[in-house]
């Protein structure tokens, strides 16, 4: 899971974390945020983004930083 996570864009990382948290149910957000070293707010945002039927900015993806 972690290797796949590192290959994803920032937007896809949020959404993937949201999917995994939703699968786990109660306590999933905290578990996934610890697993992927993310802020729990970011995981919650990923969950919200999954509920939206259309991506408001489909082509907008940040470039990865050097060393990442």
Q: What is the pLDDT of residues 2-60, one digit of tens each?
A: 899 999 999 999 999 999 999 999 999 999 999 999 999 999 999 999 888 676 566 65
Task: Specify the pLDDT at position 1.
Answer: 87
Domain count, the chain: 1
How far, in Å, CA of 6 to CA of 13, rounded?
Answer: 8
Predicted TM-score (pTM) of this structure: 0.76
Residue predicted with more confidence, 4 or 64: 4
pLDDT at 53: 67
Q: Is residue 62 part of a domain?
A: no
Residue 61 lies in a domain: no
Considering only residues 10 and 64, tell me which one the structure prediction assigns the higher pLDDT.
10
- The per-residue pLDDT for 13 is 94
Which of 52, 54, 34, 41 is closest to 14 using CA atoms? 41
Find where tokens 């899971």 sit. Answer: 1
The answer to whether position 34 is within a domain reads: yes
Give the domain range for residue 40: 8-51
64 in a structural domain:
no
């Amino acid at each position: 899971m972690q290797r796949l996570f590192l290959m994803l864009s920032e937007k896809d990382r949020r959404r993937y974390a949201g999917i995994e948290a939703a699968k786990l149910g109660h306590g999933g957000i905290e578990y996934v945020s610890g697993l992927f070293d993310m802020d729990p707010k970011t995981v919650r945002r990923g969950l919200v983004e999954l509920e939206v039927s259309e991506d408001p900015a489909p082509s907008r993806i940040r470039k990865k930083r050097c060393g990442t």
